[in-house]
């Protein structure tokens, strides 16, 4: 199998380098910056995306903000700026609060940059380890050699080693995944652009389908299981993930197909206990009315464009974290 030869982001020479995911799969363009505002913009533009990677990027961004100005006012300014980039992904806030604790606990503000950088690298390293463990625990969901359907992108572009993609990859390496159906994931096509890119890079057999094709595949009994990632998981196991995830969960429930979530424990928000409390990001109507800068319908037409939907816990067969495979009723500590 080909070794992965791409990465979402890397910190070198006091700068962050990230792959502009909006240009994939046609162009692999890496951007290097030491400006936290540029990183914040990259998160908002989806040049950097995927809940765990967003958290890692934010940790490095707030670190870079302290490189030349380590004042409390500057830290607060950077923290607040980054915290409004994407409201749904809890990993963002988890990582920022980790950095905030380091800043507050640092007695030597002259050298706080080094302390923050150490923590940011630790968050990145831990994410890689968690992804590897998720892949290993995920082997338990396969009862036979399976055809898997997945939604949006959950690979190394979204997390250091992938969340749901890590399970798929580990399953394929162990002869438990025969092929993958990748939903296109409208309106920004993370499935057809990014997941297909990663499946191809890892030489895993796949076919792209339109989001509306999935139901017909269930009726024909072509799907053995579905696995996706998550942007926020509540204390009772309700999940927010890319819009279209709930559709799949309902299809799985009706057709008796297992539906799984894979996400690091940093995605679990124990402060909320019901999906109704999860903030859902609404994005520009331009993402629906245009494609790659070209109008596909009238810009004046009104659009409803939530980036995420929610799936109640009773629809989920299991949630895989680095700590193991959890099943309903979910109890996270």
pLDDT score, position 310: 98
Per-residue tens of pLDDT for the chain, all 333 residues = 344 689 999 999 999 999 999 999 999 999 999 999 999 999 999 999 999 999 999 999 999 999 989 999 999 999 999 999 999 989 999 999 999 999 999 877 778 999 999 999 999 999 999 999 999 999 999 999 999 999 999 999 999 989 999 999 999 999 999 999 999 999 999 999 999 999 999 999 999 999 999 999 999 999 999 999 999 999 999 999 999 999 999 999 999 999 999 999 999 999 999 999 999 999 999 999 999 889 999 999 999 999 999 999 999 999 999 999 999 999 886
Contacting residues for 313 by C-beta, under 8 A, at least 6 apart: 234, 236, 237, 238, 239, 328, 329, 330
pLDDT score, position 189: 97
What are the two backbone dihedrals, phi and then psi, of residue 281, each rounded to the nearest 5 degrees? -75, 130
Contacting residues for 315 by C-beta, under 8 A, at least 6 apart: 246, 249, 250, 252, 253, 259
| Active-site residue identified among 34, 183, 231, 269 | 231
pLDDT score, position 205: 98
DSSP for 40-96 reads HHHHHTTSS-SHHHHHHHHHHHHHHHTTT---HHHHHHHHHHHHTS-SS-HHHHHHH
231 tagged catalytic:
yes
pLDDT score, position 244: 98
Cis peptide before 187 (omega within 30 of 0): yes
pLDDT score, position 293: 86
pLDDT score, position 29: 97
Which residue segments constitute the domains of the chain, with CATH numbers given? Answer: 9-132 (1.20.120.420), 133-326 (3.40.50.10470)
pLDDT score, position 108: 77
pLDDT score, position 1: 39
pLDDT score, position 333: 64
Distances from the Cα of 205 to the Cα of 82, 181, 219, angstroms:
37, 9, 22
This prediction has a pTM of 0.93
């Amino acid at each position: 199998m080909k070794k992965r030869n791409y990465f979402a982001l890397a910190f070198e020479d006091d700068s962050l380098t990230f792959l502009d995911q909006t240009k994939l799969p046609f162009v692999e363009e890496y951007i290097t910056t030491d400006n936290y505002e540029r990183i914040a913009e990259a998160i908002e533009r989806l040049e950097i995306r995927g809940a765990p990677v967003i958290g890692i990027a934010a940790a490095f961004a707030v670190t870079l903000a302290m490189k030349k100005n380590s004042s409390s006012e500057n830290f607060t300014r950077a923290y607040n700026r980054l915290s409004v980039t994407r409201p749904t992904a809890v990993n963002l806030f988890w990582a920022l609060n980790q950095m905030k604790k380091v800043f507050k606990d640092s007695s030597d503000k002259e050298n706080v940059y080094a302390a923050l950088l150490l923590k940011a690298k630790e968050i990145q390293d831990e994410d890689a380890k968690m992804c590897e463990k998720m892949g290993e625990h995920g082997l338990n969901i396969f009862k036979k050699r399976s055809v898997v359907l997945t939604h949006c992108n959950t690979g190394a572009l979204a997390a250091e080693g992938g969340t749901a993609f890590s399970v798929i990859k580990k399953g394929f390496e162990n002869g438990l995944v025969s092929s993958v159906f990748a939903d296109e994931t409208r309106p920004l096509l993370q499935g057809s652009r990014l997941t297909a890119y990663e499946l191809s890079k890892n030489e895993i057999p796949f076919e792209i389908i339109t989001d509306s094709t999935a139901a017909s595949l269930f009726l024909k009994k072509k799907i053995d299981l579905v696995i996706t990632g998550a942007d926020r998981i509540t204390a009772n196991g309700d999940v927010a993930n890319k819009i279209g995830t709930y559709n799949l969960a309902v299809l799985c429930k009706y057709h008796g197909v297992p539906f799984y979530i894979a996400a690091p424990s940093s995605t679990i928000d124990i402060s909320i206990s019901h999906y109704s409390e999860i903030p859902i990001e609404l994005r520009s109507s331009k993402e629906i009315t245009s494609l790659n800068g070209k109008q596909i319908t009238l810009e004046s037409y009104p659009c409803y464009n939530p980036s995420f939907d929610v799936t109640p816990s009773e629809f989920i067969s299991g949630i895989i974290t680095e700590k193991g495979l959890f099943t309903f009723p979910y109890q996270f500590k």
